[in-house]
Structure formats: C-alpha cells, structure tokens
Amino acid sequence: MREEKIRELELMANTIRRDIVDIAYKAQGPSHPGPALSCTDIVTALYFHTMHVDPENPNMPDRDRLVLSKGHACPVLYSALAEKGFFPKEWLTTVRRLNSKLQGHPDMKKTPGVDMTSGSLGNGLSAALGMAIYLKHQASPAQVYCILGDGEIQEGTVWESVLAAPAMKMDNLTAIVDCNHLQSCGAVYDIQHIPGMTQAWEALGWNVITINGHDMREIISALDMAKAFRGKPTCIMANTIKGKGVSFMEFNNAWHQKVPTEAEYNQAVSELKEERSCL
Ligand SMILES: Cc1ncc(C[n+]2csc(CCOP(=O)(O)OP(=O)(O)O)c2C)c(N)n1
Ligand SMILES: [Mg+2]
C-alpha cells in the first residue's frame, strides 16, 4: 500500500480519536474513552480501507458487517460512521442523551450503519457467526468482522462460536481481539488470564495472525490476509494500549469510563491536534 494512503488512514484515526475525546467530555455520563481509543486504528482501517459499505444504503444486502462485541467502546464506531457519512457529525454531541440516536451502547434499530446491537459482553461473536452463515448460504461476497475485548473472551458463550465457526469453515468471518491487557476491574492477567490464548484459537481451527494493533501497515496487511484466506475463519490478535493516543489515558484503567475535566479535555485535544487531509 502506498505511503500516502497509510498516512491518510493515520490522520483519520487521529480525527476519530479527537471525536472520542470530545464525546467523553460532552456526553451525558461516562462514555468509555479508554476502550474506544485502544481499537481506533483497527476500526479506522476497517471502515476506510477494508469494508465494503455504502452510507447512502446502510442495509445493502452485500455489505460487509462489523459487530462491535465490546459495545461499550461505541464512541469509536459512532465517529467512524459519522466520518464515513452515515449520519451528520453533529449527532456526536448527543451521545448518551435522552432520545438521542447514539446511546451508551450500539443499537442497530436506532443508529444507521450499526449492524448489531451490543453491550452485554460475550454475545457478539455468535451474532457475527450467524451473519456469516447466512451470507455464505446466499453466496454473498460479504465479510463479517467482530471486535472482542480480551476480558470479554472470559465469557463462556464466546467459546461456543470459537468452536463452531471453524467446524463450519466460515472463512468469511474475522474475529479481532483487542488485547489491551486490561478489563474494567484491573489487569486481565490478574483476573482470569487464558494461558496460550493464541495457540488455543489455532488448535480449535482458526487462522491466527498476531499484530501490533496500532501499526496501520500491520493492521491493513492482516485484514487483507484474512479476506483472502480460504477454509478457516481468521482471528487477528491485536496487541493494543488502552487509552492509546492521549498520554495520561494510556495504560491507565481509570479512563475505562471516566469523564475528563475541562483541563484534561484541553490537554487531550492539544495532544491530538493535527490537520487531517481529505480522504
Ligand atoms: C455480560 C457483561 N458483564 C459485564 C459487563 C460490564 N463491563 C463493561 S466493560 C467491561 C470490561 C471489558 O473488558 P475488555 O473486554 O477487556 O474490554 P476493554 O474495556 O478492555 O476494551 C465489563 C466487565 C458487560 N458490559 N456485560
Ligand atoms: Mg481489555
């Protein structure tokens, strides 16, 4: 991929990070900035490089689908959808407000472009698998992507789909695990670490690719490989940093769902100040 395209994607990720910080400051209540910032580069690559979607026709039958299984990170999804043109950017100032189309967790009945309602952790991969089975049955070229948290995969329901998808050879399904090493109450390692997690997915029949989830070249190349891979679903293990991009939010789990003060908001915005080129 050309250097300019990578740079454009990085600048878009920066714009989306600014939106996330803005939402965190203006939303009615805590909006999970840390979890959104850890998967910003991945969501940017999906919407601005990989996924075939049409903002004018959000329900297009052959569109690629994204299930944000870690639904609490929805500010990143709302920003990407707004930047892509699914709805006006002004909506981003209404997150979590009464009667807003942008609620604290994604709602497919309220928000154009949201493919699956989520928020109750552990359910997204089964929904994504269901979509993949349907699309294959329709001989559709569409791909299904599902972003899971590394704490979320402690949920037993996730593993039913981890077992079922390879048995059904669902090569139109890509799971992306946002490995930021933290969950809401502390470090994944201290709470319920899954030893040999990569090998576990591999042993159960997945094509596993491990990447740095903030390196746009690695993300793009993994997504391209996943799309081309035949016979097995792909799992991208993305090593990330919770709060990535804002110095005082990085690695700091207080930002799982904290609202910034005015001074914190201003500092975050100044750290993310960078002009965006036209995509
Ligand atoms: C079934 C269920 N239990 C508990 C919660 C509350 N909850 C919200 S975020 C979170 C931690 C998730 O950690 P992880 O999956 O690692 O995502 P991260 O925030 O690190 O991106 C929890 C327990 C929930 N949303 N759903
Ligand atoms: Mg996590």
From 3.40.50.10800, 3.40.50.970, 1.10.1740.10, 3.40.50.720, which CATH number describes the 3-271 domain? 3.40.50.970
Query: How far apart, in whole angstroms, are the C-alpha atoms of residue 97 and residue 81?
Result: 18
The CB of 124 under 6 Å from ligand 1? The reply is: no
Q: Whose CA is nearest to atom 13 of ligand 1?
A: 183
Q: Whose CA is nearest to atom 21 of ligand 1?
A: 35
Q: pLDDT digits over 259-270, tens only?
A: 999 999 999 999
Domains of the chain by residue range: 3-271
Q: Sheet with 144-149: list strands edge to edge.
A: 65-68, 144-149, 173-179, 234-239, 207-212
The CB of 240 under 6 Å from ligand 1? The reply is: no
Query: How far apart, in whole angstroms, are the C-alpha atoms of residue 167 and residue 4?
Result: 40
161 to 111, 128, 146, 157, 204: CA distances (angstroms): 26, 9, 12, 7, 11
Closest residue by Cα to residue 144 from 156, 154, 131: 131
DSSP element (H, E) containing 134: helix 124-137
Determine the pLDDT at residue 28. 80
DSSP element (H, E) containing 173: strand 173-179
Rounded to the nearest integer, the mean pLDDT of the chain is 96
In ligand 1, the atom with minimum distance to the C-alpha of 120 is 26
Query: How far apart, in whole angstroms, are the C-alpha atoms of residue 82 and residue 92?
Result: 8
* Confidence band for 141, pLDDT divided at 50, 70 and 90: very high
Q: pLDDT digits over 226-253, tens only?
A: 999 999 999 999 999 999 999 999 999 9
Q: How many CB atoms lie within 10 A of CB 99?
A: 7
Q: How far is the CA of 7 from the centre of ligand 2 (A)?
A: 27
* Residues lying with their CB under 5 A of ligand 2, a single-atom ion: 149-151, 180, 182-183
- The first and second tokens of residue 121, run together, are 């952790």
Does pLDDT of 79 surpass 50?
yes
The CB of 179 under 6 Å from ligand 1? The reply is: no
Q: How far is the CA of 183 from the centre of ligand 1 (A)?
A: 6
The CB of 244 under 6 Å from ligand 1? The reply is: no
* Confidence band for 275, pLDDT divided at 50, 70 and 90: low
Q: pLDDT digits over 82-134, tens only?
A: 999 999 999 999 999 999 999 999 999 999 999 999 999 999 999 999 999 99
Q: How far is the CA of 21 from the centre of ligand 2 (A)?
A: 19
% of residues, the chain, pLDDT over 70: 98
8 Å CB contact between 39 and 46: no
8 Å CB contact between 259 and 20: no
